């Protein structure tokens, strides 16, 4: 596939660069325009990223916000695009409590589109502008965008890659950022499947204030790179804009480490450019539904006819005990198989394995390799909530360590109602039926 169209959203003139300051031109340079080809020292351009993507067959369009005014996403024909990049956007996308733009983007994802979120302090006029603009959308997927803080590289050898076999990380061993904004996997949403691919490190800053938020150390739920799915589409959160800067870019650039390969892989995933063989694209162990413990695996295409309990084995890495699922359910709308376990698993680290020959699509194509994912079963679970209803705007400022509640900086409810997963009696295959 080639020629997929990607929409980049840029902040309005005069709305960026509050940290570094300077002239209007210098502040606008901070907004990472895809037409900015500068290779000057400490540039902030994404022109080389645009060239890399065009050479890979993508077609790019950029729209620019007017200062403090959102792009009319609800009025656009988003179906023409395969991906949307929320780059230096900093406008309010729930103006006067309206969720029409958020609804449009979520429907875009459900119908097969991909959305990428990247935040930065210099993408706004204060620390909270950029992450709050993203948060309007991210709440729907159970994610929270942190504010800009810290600088580091993440690598396969250092153990930072939690799922190094993912297609985004193919041939990637190390990438970096400067002034990073990790993404928090906060809530479990019924129809959304999320997986942290690369962990965040050191300290981070909550987006829980109109100005500089509260600092804290990262937790296991903070991600440098996170992926998710809903319906037929994909969601990606990346921790920094600088990873994709032009040569001599501020802090880092596409020319450092494996940043260019990461960019190619990321946008191929974002737009759904997969091989003809079925691929597992997101995996998540969940304790949020009835049954209480399940492993959900999203595939790149429909493989429901082949999924059964014998396709997956779960091994406790401490004592070697192997668990076989009691049933499996195929969700055709969201393209995931959900394996359930008959009893509560003891706390510990487990390895789930699905042989390549076990899963196939309607044409008989099998997976290219075994799917292996390590999971940690603990005594506590993430909180299950539902996404916004059409009448409730999202909370822009959030402390990701707090349980879902009313935002401390808004009277808007954080979450409302969405149908959760099917119960036991809707599982399509059980051990007894095989």
Counting residues of the chain whose pLDDT is more than 90, the rounded percentage is 82
Using pLDDT thresholds of 50, 70 and 90, give the confidence band for residue 175. very high
Give the pLDDT score at 172: 98
Give the pLDDT score at 138: 98
Instruction: Output DSSP code: residue 27.
Output: H
- 315-367 pLDDT, tens digit per residue, is 999 999 999 999 999 999 999 999 999 888 999 999 999 999 999 999 999 99
CATH number of 5-270: 3.40.50
Beta bridge partners of 375: 350
Q: What's the whole-number mean pLDDT along residues 22-27?
A: 96
Q: Are strands 327-331 and 429-430 parallel, antiparallel or unpaired?
A: antiparallel
Place of tokens 């596939």: 1
Top-confidence residue, 190 or 158:
158
Chain mean pLDDT for the chain: 88
Per-residue pLDDT for 292 more than 60? yes
Give the pLDDT score at 401: 59
How far is Cα 361 from Cα 277, in angstroms, rounded to an integer? 8
CATH number of 280-382+422-433: 2.60.40.1220
- 371-423 pLDDT, tens digit per residue, is 999 999 985 444 333 333 333 334 666 666 554 432 322 222 223 223 344 54
Per-residue pLDDT for 434 more than 50? no
- In Å, how far are 67, 94, 235 from 14, measured between CA atoms? 7, 21, 29
- 227-282 pLDDT, tens digit per residue, is 999 999 999 999 999 999 999 999 999 999 999 999 999 999 999 999 999 999 99
Per-residue pLDDT for 40 more than 80? yes
Give the pLDDT score at 282: 98
Give the pLDDT score at 290: 65
Token readout for 46 is 């994404």
Three-class DSSP category at 260: helix
Give the pLDDT score at 397: 66
- 53-68 pLDDT, tens digit per residue, is 999 999 999 999 999 8
How far is Cα 7 from Cα 13, in angstroms, rounded to an integer? 18
Give the pLDDT score at 74: 98
How far is Cα 249 from Cα 43, in angstroms, rounded to an integer? 5
DSSP 68-79: TB---GGGS-GG
Token readout for 388 is 């916004």
Give domain limits for the chain.
5-270, 280-382+422-433
Dihedral (CA of 275, 354, 83, 15) sign: negative
- 140-151 pLDDT, tens digit per residue, is 999 999 999 999
Residues with Cβ within 8 Å of 425's Cβ and at least 6 positions away in sequence, in order, are none
Cis peptide preceding 88, ω within 30 of 0: no
Top-confidence residue, 244 or 426:
244
DSSP 96-134: GG--HHHHHHHHHHHTT-EEEE---GGGSSSTTHHHHHH
Per-residue pLDDT for 177 more than 90? yes
Give the pLDDT score at 178: 97
């Amino acid at each position: 596939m080639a020629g997929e169209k990607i929409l980049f959203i840029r902040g309005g003139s005069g709305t960026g660069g509050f940290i570094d300051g300077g002239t209007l031109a210098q502040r606008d340079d901070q907004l990472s325009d895809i037409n900015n080809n500068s290779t000057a020292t400490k540039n902030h351009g994404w022109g080389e990223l645009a060239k890399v993507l065009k050479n890979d067959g993508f077609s790019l369009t950029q729209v620019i916000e007017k200062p403090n005014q959102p792009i009319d996403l609800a009025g656009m024909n988003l179906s023409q695009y395969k991906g949307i990049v929320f780059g230096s956007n900093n406008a309010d996308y729930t103006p006067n409590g309206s969720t029409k733009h958020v609804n449009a983007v979520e429907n875009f994802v459900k119908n097969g589109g991909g959305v990428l979120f990247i935040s930065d302090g210099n993408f706004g006029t204060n620390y909270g502008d950029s992450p709050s603009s993203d948060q309007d959308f991210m709440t729907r997927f159970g994610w929270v965008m942190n504010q800009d803080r810290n600088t580091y590289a993440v690598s396969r050898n250092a153990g930072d890659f939690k799922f190094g076999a993912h297609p985004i990380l193919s041939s990637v061993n190390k990438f970096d950022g400067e002034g990073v904004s990790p993404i928090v996997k906060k809530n479990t949403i019924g129809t959304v499947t999320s997986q942290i691919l690369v962990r965040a490190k050191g300290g981070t800053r909550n987006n829980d204030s109109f100005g500089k938020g509260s600092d804290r150390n990262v937790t296991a739920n903070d991600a440098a790179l996170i992926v998710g799915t809903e319906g037929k589409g994909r969601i990606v959160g990346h921790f920094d804009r600088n990873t994709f800067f032009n040569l001599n870019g501020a802090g880092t650039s596409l020319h450092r480490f494996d940043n260019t390969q990461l960019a190619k892989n990321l946008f191929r995933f974002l737009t759904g450019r997969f091989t003809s063989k079925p691929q597992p694209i997101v995996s998540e162990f969940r304790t949020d539904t009835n049954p209480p413990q399940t492993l959900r695996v999203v595939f790149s295409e429909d493989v429901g006819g082949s999924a059964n309990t014998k396709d997956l084995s779960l091994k406790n890495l401490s004592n070697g005990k192997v668990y076989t699922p009691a049933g499996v359910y195929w969700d055709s709308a969201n393209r995931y198989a959900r394996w359930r376990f008959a009893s509560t698993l003891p706390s510990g680290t487990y390895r789930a394995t699905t042989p390549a020959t076990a899963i196939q699509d309607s044409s008989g194509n099998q997976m290219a390799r075994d799917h292996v994912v390590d999971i940690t079963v603990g005594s506590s679970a993430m909180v299950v909530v539902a996404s916004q209803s059409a009448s409730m705007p999202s909370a822009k400022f959030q402390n990701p360590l707090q349980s879902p509640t009313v935002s401390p900086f808004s009277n808007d409810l954080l979450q409302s109602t969405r149908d959760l997963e099917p119960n036991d009696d809707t599982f399509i295959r059980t051990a007894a039926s095989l």
